[in-house]
Chain A
Amino acid sequence: MTLLKLDNIHTYYGNIHALKGISITVDEGEIVTLIGANGAGKSTTLKTISGLLYPRQGKVYLNDEVLTKHAAHEIVKMGVIHVPEGRRVFARLTVMENLEMGAFTRKDKGGIQQDLDRVFELFPRLKERRSQVAGTLSGGEQQMLAMGRALMSNPRILLLDEPSMGLAPVLVDLIFDTIRELNEQGMTILLVEQNALLALDVANRGYVLETGVIALAGDAKELANDPQVKEVYLGGA
């Protein structure tokens, strides 16, 4: 069943036409990835979904509800959470305070506690460091915290923006294992990545973005074997 649907989205930064008619769908329980070069519009797409940017034309649907009618804070309440690029943890707050901020829209204490346990189970390291100031965490730990914080809002779909950015290869593997694990638990994920190889490996389906339009779409395995994708994004192997 389709959970998230973008229908012919046009987004602008001032006069710059950043997204020129993007249409994608994400089904319940899927991992879908958006790959593409710098400036292709991957992050812009995520920001448009989560309401941080407003499209000039086109609509975003969650199930049958129109997301584009709502403000960012309402979209979070509806179950769409965005993990921004570059992690962006609250550097001066502790790990625990960061996670509590993630549950800002919720008032069900029991549910919050349950999700906290789940996050700590997924990222045991965060539990060890729960009273540490987030700014002193390593890059990998900060990425875990950013994802954990997002999960605290009990989302229906997770928008991940470049989770591998600036991380050592070992850590990238760890983060992607977690993404897979989350998905196995039933989480729907829309993943934006520059590392196309990794992204296509973990995803069910993928879209290739080129300067604001969708150039290719399809099954992740097929995309990984597509000669054009190979040439441009997978280092011409």
Chain B
Amino acid sequence: MDKELKFSWSEILKFGAIAGIVAIYVILVGMVEAFNDRYIISETVTLGQIALFSPVFLLGYFAADKARQIKSTGFAILSSALVGLVGGIFVAALLFLGANINMRAVFLNVSPDLLKILHLGQETMLGAIAANLIISAIVGLFGGLFALTPHKWSNALLVGLSIVLLMGIMQELMTITFGSKDWYKPIGKFIYAQKGLSWGGAILFLILGAAYSLWRGSGKFRPAAKVAKMPAKQRMTVSLTAWALGLIILLALPKFLGSYPSEILTTVGIYIIMGLGLNIVVGFAGLLDLGYVAFFAIGAYTVGVLTTTGKLATVGWSFWMALPIAVFLAMFAGVLLGIPVLKMRGDYLAIVTLGFGEIIRVLVLSDWLKPFIGGAQGILQIPKPHIGGFVFKGPQQMYYIVLAGILLVGYVAWRLRDARVGRAWKAMREDEDVAEAMGIHLVSTKLMAFATGAAFAGLAGAIFAAKLGSIFPQSFNLIVSINVLSLIIVGGIGSLPGVVVGALILVGLPELLREFADFRMLFYGALLVAMMLVKPEGFVPEKTHARELSEKEPFAPEIEPEAPARETI
């Protein structure tokens, strides 16, 4: 007994230390300070505090979850509080050190402001240390309680809290939106305070989120199953109505959201178009392309050169005339890149495509091409597209071009996936040699994938140029390729809805949080690692990938368990 107890104590120390180290890391990279002015709930909870205490909460949760399997509930709760306390000691130690020795020589972020934040409102050092220990222990305890709550309720709470967090983060944006129309101004006044959510708003969102989660979990929420039971004709009507409704909402969005949210949506939309394109290359055909930004750049620069009215003016075409040329040139470049890499696979292909992306970037920056495309100064004065007298002047108007682009590209990708070439891509992705032995023409299949993917990126680039009105080489660096690849992985490789989800998470969320910009790559890294550990098939998995990556096998329904076949044959 004693020995077993000891084991658990060391376990508590371990969990606490992890929490403490993660918390210190979060502090030292500057997140706590950067997020400190971002109130989630007015005058009460800041995002900085959430960043500071979430490691303790999480580790308290894990500790209690583990402890209750071997020990009593009481012990589990106690251990979670102790984990919190240990985590708190680490933070308090950092605070003490920071106040007494100058750490800034190494850790730039340990500023007086940060130390003041870590005082948690207490004046004296002793009071601050005590506050840190107590609050950490309490937060750890909450983590433990959370682990012990029945799954249904803890899940509801989690959904509720996530929505509160999300709405809190979107405060600035939503106040602008709510402020734009007289008749919903009062709603905005109720939900949001000067900074962050009001208490009323926070409670409202918590209840809404929890209720929604409970309702879904109750099993009454089965729209898909209900529709599947309907007769064919009715089913058709329902799905048509759903599509029409979705389209109407999408069309109405910019009007309701206002300018800044529309701006974010167009950015997300441009990434969706690129994601759909790269998804064909990487997801459908299994060709890892790290230089995808090149085609985006070609699309943007084509539109730039052909339409600009500034210093570099050439033919001065309209956007609509330049668009097909941009798409065609990108596609041509796709084929051009495809030919030398036909025989390459995996890592080699990745490296060569990476190089191709860099070549385009260097060309764009070069003095040699400067008279045509402006070098580092870029191309300015790209006119906005217009149809007749209607000018797509701002993000609220550009949104429609992006939306049309997504719908077109999404439709093409969807049709191609189920077409003959889609099956060829699939076979090639699974096993190139066998695909060839099955009569699949590898050369044309690969080139088709590169060309289609590149054409989509060209379209995205063309819209990007028209949206910004000016383009610079910095917009076309490696990060763009990595972003697009990451959003595909997060959404689910090969999955079309996954691209949309991935773009919203990886491109949309960081746009909402301006302070976030510095931590974007950190966030990407953490998210990708977490995804690979917890949900490697992505948020909206494509079924072939799901089969490989999930341990369940829901695709073998027809074999009875006692069939002797598997052992003998």
Binding site for B on A (CB under 8 A): 50, 52, 71-73, 76-77, 81-82, 84, 88-94, 100-102, 104-105, 125, 128-133, 135-136, 138-141, 149, 153, 168, 170-171
Contacts and interface: CB of A to CB of B under 8 A. Distances in A.
B437 A52 contact: yes
A135 B566 CA distance: 12
A132 B547 CA distance: 10
A207 to B, nearest CB: 22
Nearest to A143: B569
A76 B556 contact: no
Contacts of A170: 568
Contacts of A76: 437-439
Interface in B536-569: 544-545, 547-548, 553, 555-559, 565-566, 568-569
Given A93-B426, A131-B557, A132-B555, A72 B544 contact: no
B431 A88 contact: yes
A74 to B, nearest CB: 8
Interface string B175-218: 00000000000000000000000000000000000000000000
15 contacts: A52-B437, A72-B439, A73-B441, A82-B437, A91-B430, A92-B544, A94-B555, A104-B438, A129-B556, A131-B555, A133-B553, A135-B548, A138-B565, A138-B566, A141-B565
Interface in B36-70: none
A234 B558 CA distance: 42
B544 A101 contact: no
A139 B548 CA distance: 18
A93 B422 CA distance: 14
B434 interface: yes
B347 interface: no
Contact of B559 (A77, A91, A94, A128): A128
A140 B427 contact: no
A50 B434 CA distance: 11
Contact of B430 (A71, A90, A129, A153): A90
B423 interface: yes
Interface string B117-146: 000000000000000000000000000000
Size bracket, chain B contacts: 20 to 34
B547 A88 contact: no
B437 A128 contact: no
Nearest to A139: B569
A102 B438 contact: yes
B424 A104 contact: yes
Main SS at interface, chain B: helix
A50 B438 CA distance: 10
B437 to A, nearest CB: 5
Contacts of B555: 94, 131-133
A88 B435 CA distance: 10
Nearest to B549: A92
A100 B547 contact: no
Please indicate which of the listed interface residues B431, B437, B566 has the most CB atoms of chain A within 10 Å of its own CB: B437
B547 A92 contact: yes
Contacts of B430: 90-93
Interface string B503-531: 00000000000000000000000000000
B544 A73 contact: no
Contact of A90 (B427, B436, B569): B427
A89 to B, nearest CB: 8
In order of increasing CB-CB distance, the 6 nearest A-B pairs are A76-B439, A105-B439, A140-B569, A90-B430, A73-B441, A132-B556
Contacts of A139: 569
A52 B436 contact: yes
A25 B214 CA distance: 72
Given A93-B430, A138-B565, A153 B439 contact: yes
Contacts of B438: 76, 101-102, 104-105, 149, 153
B77 to A, nearest CB: 43
Contacts of B426: 93
Contact of B436 (A73, A77, A94, A129): A73
Nearest to B445: A73
B440 interface: yes
Given A104-B440, A132-B555, A133-B553, 12 more contacts: A52-B433, A84-B434, A88-B433, A91-B430, A91-B548, A92-B544, A93-B426, A101-B438, A129-B556, A131-B558, A136-B556, A138-B566
